[in-house]
Amino acid sequence: MVINYLGGGAFRLQSGETSLLVDPESNRLKADVVLRTLAPANFSTAEDNALPQNEIFFPGEYEIKGIEVRGVPVRQESGEKFLKTIYAVEWEEIRLAFLGYLSRTLSAETIDELNEPDILFLPIGGGHFLAPEAAARLAKQIEPAFIIPTSYKNPTEFLKAMGQKAEAQEKLVFKKKDLLNEKSRVILLEPKS
Torsion-angle region of 151 (φ positive above 0: left; ψ -120 to 50: alpha; else: beta): left
Angstrom distance (rounded) from CA 109 to CA 39: 23
Q: What DSSP character marks residue 154?
A: -
Residue 46 pLDDT > 50: no
Domain ranges of the chain: 2-186
Residue 44 has pLDDT above 80, yes or no: no
Q: What is the pLDDT of residue 6?
A: 96
Max Cα-Cα span within the chain: 48
| Residues 132-141, mean pLDDT to the nearest whole number | 97
Q: What is the CATH number that goes with domain 2-186?
A: 3.60.15.10
Where residue 91 falls (left for φ over 0; alpha for ψ -120 to 50; beta otherwise) is beta
CB-based contacts of 55: which residues, under 8 Å, 6+ apart? 34, 36
Assign 42 a pLDDT band (cuts: 50, 70, 90). confident
Question: In angstroms, how far is CA 193 from the centroid of its own chain?
Answer: 19
Distance CA 167, CA 189 (A): 8
SS3 28: coil
The per-residue pLDDT for range 54-96, each reduced to its tens digit, is 999 889 999 999 999 999 999 888 888 889 999 999 999 999 9
Rounded CA separation 159/36 (Å): 27
Report the pLDDT value the prediction gives residue 43, as an integer from 0 to 100: 66
Does the structure show a pLDDT above 50 at 45?
Answer: no
Residue type, 183: K
pLDDT reported for residue 50: 59
- 88-132, pLDDT tens digit by residue? 999 999 999 999 999 999 999 999 999 999 999 999 999 999 999
φ/ψ of 102, rounded to 5, equals: -60, 135
CB count within 10 Å of CB 132 equals 22
**From 78-82, 132-136, 139-143, the region with the lowest mean pLDDT:** 78-82
What is the per-residue pLDDT for 49? 53
Whole-number Cα distances in Å, 145 to 26, 82, 135, 142, 176: 30, 31, 15, 10, 11
This prediction's pTM: 0.93
pLDDT tens digits, residue range 177-188?
999 988 899 999
Report how far Cα 129 is from the mean position of its chain's Cα atoms. Answer: 13
